[in-house]
Structure 1
Amino acid sequence: MTEQQNLDTVPQMAVDAPLSVAAAGRAAGDVSSVLLIRTIVAAVATIVLVVAAVLLFRHGVRPDHFPAFLSGTTSTVITRYSAPWIAGAAGAALLAGLCFTSVTVDLFRRVRWQRARRRA
């Protein structure tokens, strides 16, 4: 092998020059802000998706009143289940769970990031 072939596979430095203290501080602040914004957006999305899941499920389960089948009763209630609405509720609940996971992970990362910044 020649020297020219080895140059392509040699690990390269990610950054040519180290960051200044001011630039590193700005970058750390930006990361902290991004994590906070992502946490807030995911928390709002979690709440909206949970409400949507409840509404979809309530729409999918419907009691219907029919004439009395038994003597001595005024009506018979038969509950009907609509699979598409319940499946939509399950999908919304799944997305709410994923958003809640995103909230907890981003919150955990933000707390760890702030602790590391305070130590430094």
Structure 2
Amino acid sequence: MKKDKEWYLAWQPGNAAYARDDIIVAVGLRSSQDALCLRDIISWLGVPDKVNGNAETGSIVYYFTSQEETAAHFDVVEKQVKNFGVIARHRDNALTPDGKPFNLLDAMEEYNGSEMKKGCNS
């Protein structure tokens, strides 16, 4: 089956034809068009092995042991996902304001995820 943009945008929660990596792409495409509730995205992807970041300050990284090189990265505003994609786990993946490369994950604290279970309007 050809996986093009339209195929990913046709994804609906619970569709067994989409693997977790497909869901990450589908949600990423959809979040660029619509604000999605972080709680819903988490329920679609499953329980993470680890979470870093903070939903209140706008950035969460969601780890699965099956993805050794990358992790799912959410940009969040008021519990709505505004951007979604993947981030490299073991190399520089961001720049400081003065242009020096660094690994953003090294600057993040572990996050207990309790805020992710609340609704978008709670």
Normalised TM-score (structure 1)? 0.22
* Structure showing the higher strand proportion among its residues: 2
Normalised TM-score (structure 2)? 0.22
Which gives a bigger RCO, structure 1 or 2 (Cα 8 Å, sep 6+)? 1
* Structure showing the higher helix proportion among its residues: 1
